[in-house]
Amino acid sequence: MNNVLLLGAGMVSRPLVRYLLEKTNVNLKVASLEFGNVRQLIESHPRASLQKLDVNDRQALRQVISEADVVISLLPWIHHMKVANLCLELNKHLVTSSYVKPEMRALDAEVKKRGLIFLNEMGVDPGIDHMAAMKVINNVKNRGGKIISFYSYCGGLPAPQNNNNPLGYKFSWSPVGVMLAALSYGQYLKDGKVVKVASEQLFEHYWFLDVPGAGTFEAYVNRDALPYMELYGIQEAQSMFRGTLRNVGHCETWNYFKKLGLFNQEFKVDFAKTSVKQAIARLINSDGKNLTKDIANFLNIPEYSVTLKKLEWLGLLSDEKLPLGEASIFDMFAHILQHKLVYEEGEVDLLIQHHEFIAEYPDGKREKLTSTLVDTGIPHGDTSMARTVGLPAAIATRLIVEGKINLKGVHIPVLPDIYEPILAELEAMNIKLVERSTWL
């Protein structure tokens, strides 16, 4: 089992490629439409090769998968099932960093029957979050206790020294993914009661969180937390929350972005003939003569509002014409974010993951436990996001190739056989979780 195929060579692929070339003896093929910053690594290595591939070409995709023993997919999640079905047909192991969808879970019995493993959610969130959580949860259970409350938070942000734009945010992955997540709803359990957060209220339902060694952030709900009670084996918990961390001011701003219609995928404009300013005016039925005032009235905010200052800084009030042709307002906003909220050469990002648990023991005592990861990128090197997404997938691939993960079926990293060696190796690379405990 010596041939590994990586599908997709995007922003988080370089640490994965480097690890597999330096830490293993596998033959690595990278198949993608673009090769970005992994091209030099591949072209200079005798065990690596590149292949240009459109994953929508099923015949070409089938051929390249047929030549591998283990397939790693860093493609957008919408492509995972076509990859998974081909891996099943051709008897290939599969590793992804994306959430397990019901269609993937439905393959479990057949994957087991064929003696394969499809290991998903091998990134940071999802991924390291599961592993850090299960380490604490299993330690509590081994001491006779149970988890009665679990709040989990994660966020990728600019490091403080490079937090130098008014939105307090930069993209270390696709803006489209962030924007789509902003349209989702949320649900969690608090003191035994289910709290539902509609998409329209997503950015109105937040609170401040102090993270040791990192600072104070806004926390808002990350999709549906309830299924994780069963996944983590903590069905008795009275509180279960999964949240996203952002810098202070983010939620109010993005709430107004949504209300303005910047996430509208239906409203189309011909950007060859229409400026950004004209598109915004058309979106809110303004004549464009005093667009700032009209936006303020539309959102019911003062003309001196910081949100309007941010819109102006982004260029949404400009006469610029974008090279988009016929496109939606959503596409326009994604294009602007991708070009404005960028990391400059030498700048670094900050990855924060913070878990808070309350454990209860048979003698009635309660313990508060936390597990915190604060990691920054490497100046002129890999981002923290790339390392914390790419390295867990790379380590898992090595363990599968070496026969050190012998599980079969569709899995996520909640079992000790998976998370113990991976967390140990990540810690050796200084991607380290700090655990703290106090008795209540």
Q: Tens digits of per-residue pLDDT, 219-251?
A: 999 999 999 999 999 999 999 999 999 999 999
Q: How much is the pLDDT for 178? A: 87
For Cα atoms 94, 100, 104, give the angle at the middle one, nearest 5 degrees: 65
Q: How much is the pLDDT for 380? A: 93
DSSP character string of 99-165: PPPHHHHTTHHHHHHTT-EEE---BBTTBHHHHHHHHHHHHHHHTT-EEEEEEEEEEEEE-GGG--S
- DSSP label at residue 200: G
Residue 439's alpha-carbon distances to 132, 261, 282, 360, 434, in angstroms, are 20, 48, 58, 10, 17
User: Cα–Cα distance between 390 and 401 in angstroms, integer?
Assistant: 17
Rounded to the nearest angstrom, the gap between the alpha carbon of residue 61 and the centroid of all alpha carbons in its chain is 25
Which two structure tokens, joined as six digits, stand for 406?
């012998």
Which two structure tokens, joined as six digits, stand for 236?
């008795």
Packed helices 416-428 and 384-401: angle between N→C axes, nearest 10 degrees: 130
User: 70, 76, 79: which is closest to 10 by C-alpha?
Assistant: 76
Residues 6+ apart with CB under 8 A from 208: 216, 217, 218, 219, 248
Percent of the residues in the chain that have a pLDDT greater than 70, as a whole number: 100
How much is the average pLDDT of 173-186?
87
Q: How much is the pLDDT for 51? A: 94
The residues annotated with a catalytic role in the active site are: 125
User: 331, 342, 423, 440: which is closest to 139 by C-alpha?
Assistant: 423
Query: Lowest-confidence range among 104-118, 167-181, 262-276, 315-329?
Result: 167-181
> If you average pLDDT over every residue of the chain, what do you get?
95
Residue 155 has pLDDT above 80, yes or no: yes
Confidence of residue 418 (pLDDT cuts 50, 70, 90): very high
Residue 173 has pLDDT above 80, yes or no: no
Phi/psi at 201 (nearest 5 deg)? -105, 5
Confidence of residue 78 (pLDDT cuts 50, 70, 90): confident
Residue 1 has pLDDT above 90, yes or no: no
Confidence of residue 433 (pLDDT cuts 50, 70, 90): very high
Q: What's domain 128-251+345-382+432-439's superfamily in CATH?
A: Dihydrodipicolinate Reductase; domain 2 (3.30.360.10)
Q: How much is the pLDDT for 111? A: 98
How much is the average pLDDT of 26-40?
90
Confidence of residue 415 (pLDDT cuts 50, 70, 90): very high
pLDDT in tens, 89-128: 999 999 999 999 999 999 999 999 999 999 999 999 999 9
Confidence of residue 426 (pLDDT cuts 50, 70, 90): very high
User: 260, 330, 254, 251: which is closest to 300 by C-alpha?
Assistant: 260
Confidence of residue 35 (pLDDT cuts 50, 70, 90): confident
Written out in words, the top-level CATH class of the domain with range 3-96 is: alpha beta
User: Cα–Cα distance between 394 and 115 in angstroms, integer?
Assistant: 21
Phi/psi at 331 (nearest 5 deg)? -60, -40
Which two structure tokens, joined as six digits, stand for 60?
């070409």
How would you classify the pairing of strands 117-119 and 93-96?
A: parallel
Confidence of residue 346 (pLDDT cuts 50, 70, 90): very high
Is residue 266 within 8 Å of residue 328, measured between CB atoms? yes
Q: How much is the pLDDT for 180? A: 87
Q: Domain locations in the chain?
A: 3-96, 128-251+345-382+432-439, 264-340
Residue 40 has pLDDT above 90, yes or no: no
